[in-house]
């Protein structure tokens, strides 16, 4: 592949994920942006990349992006499985969450000022559905911020330490 590399002492291929996910969270919808030094037909790129993918990773398509097209994510949908016997408890947490005007969580901040900060995650959550053994939620993603997956799990009564590895990102929508 005619990959474009960064400049400097330790050149690296110029590629990025449009919406990185937390470690341990599975995904069914990722967008990998690869910068090339010369044009390459999208089907040829897909043909070259497919055999290089690890087991379980399926490439669904390839397209050429205009230099100005940044593919900024606007929404993400997540799902998490839990024991069916927990449905009523999780549904109760979801109902309370959606009814609340504000849901404040403590968020750790890295760096010298590591006191953390309070963040209202309620404006970021668009919907929550609780089915038998699974919860799905849809949230906004913007430059102004978003809710973190562990924060949503915790307020739904699903401790993130126990449930984060069960989360799947189902879909990501991008700004038009």
Q: Would you state the pLDDT for residue 22?
A: 85
> Would you place residue 112 in the very low, low, confident or very high pLDDT band (cuts 50, 70, 90)?
low
Residue 111 has pLDDT above 70, yes or no: no
66-86 confidence digits (pLDDT tens): 878 878 899 999 999 999 999
1-11 confidence digits (pLDDT tens): 899 999 999 99
SS3 of 1-51: the string is CCECECCCCCCCECEEECCCCCCCCEECCCCEEECECCCCCHHHHHHHHHH
Q: Would you state the pLDDT for residue 70?
A: 79
8-58 confidence digits (pLDDT tens): 999 999 998 889 888 889 999 999 888 999 999 999 999 999 999 999 889
**Which residue's structure tokens are 């993603």?**
141
Q: Is residue 102 part of a domain?
A: yes
Q: Is residue 17 part of a domain?
A: no
Q: Would you state the pLDDT for residue 6?
A: 94
User: What is the domain extent for residue 158?
Assistant: 73-174
Q: Is residue 46 part of a domain?
A: no
Q: Is residue 61 part of a domain?
A: no
Q: Is residue 15 part of a domain?
A: no
Residue 144 has pLDDT above 80, yes or no: yes
Q: What is the CATH number of the domain that holds 135?
A: 3.30.70
Residue 114 has pLDDT above 80, yes or no: no
Q: Is residue 124 part of a domain?
A: yes
Q: Is residue 111 part of a domain?
A: yes
Q: Is residue 23 part of a domain?
A: no
Q: Would you state the pLDDT for residue 56?
A: 87
Q: In the chain, how many domains are there?
A: 1
Q: Would you state the pLDDT for residue 76?
A: 97
Sequential DSSP letters for the chain: --B-B--SSS--B-EEESS---TT-EES---EEE-BSS---HHHHHHHHGGGSPTT-------PPPTT----EEEEEEEEE--GGGHHHHHHHHHHHHH-S--EEEE---SS-TT-EEEE-GGGEEEEEEETTEEEEEEE-BTTB---HHHHHHHTT--HHHHGGGEEEEEEEE--
Q: What is the pTM of this model?
A: 0.87
């Amino acid at each position: 592949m005619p990959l474009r590399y960064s400049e400097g002492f330790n050149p690296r291929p110029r590629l990025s994920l449009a919406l990185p996910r937390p470690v341990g969270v599975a995904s069914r919808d990722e967008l990998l942006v690869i910068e090339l030094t010369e044009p390459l037909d999208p089907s040829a790129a897909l043909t070259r990349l497919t055999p290089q993918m690890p087991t379980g990773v399926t490439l669904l398509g390839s397209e050429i992006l205009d230099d100005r097209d940044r593919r900024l994510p606007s929404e993400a949908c997540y799902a998490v499985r839990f024991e069916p016997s927990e449905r009523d408890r999780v549904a109760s947490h979801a109902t309370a969450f959606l009814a609340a005007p504000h849901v404040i969580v403590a968020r750790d901040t890295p760096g010298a000022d590591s006191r953390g900060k309070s963040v209202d995650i309620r404006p970021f959550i668009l919907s929550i559905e609780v089915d038998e053994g699974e919860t799905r939620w849809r949230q906004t993603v913007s430059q102004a911020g978003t809710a973190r997956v562990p924060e949503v799990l915790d307020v739904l009564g699903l401790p993130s330490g126990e449930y984060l590895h069960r989360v799947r990102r189902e879909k990501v929508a991008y700004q038009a």
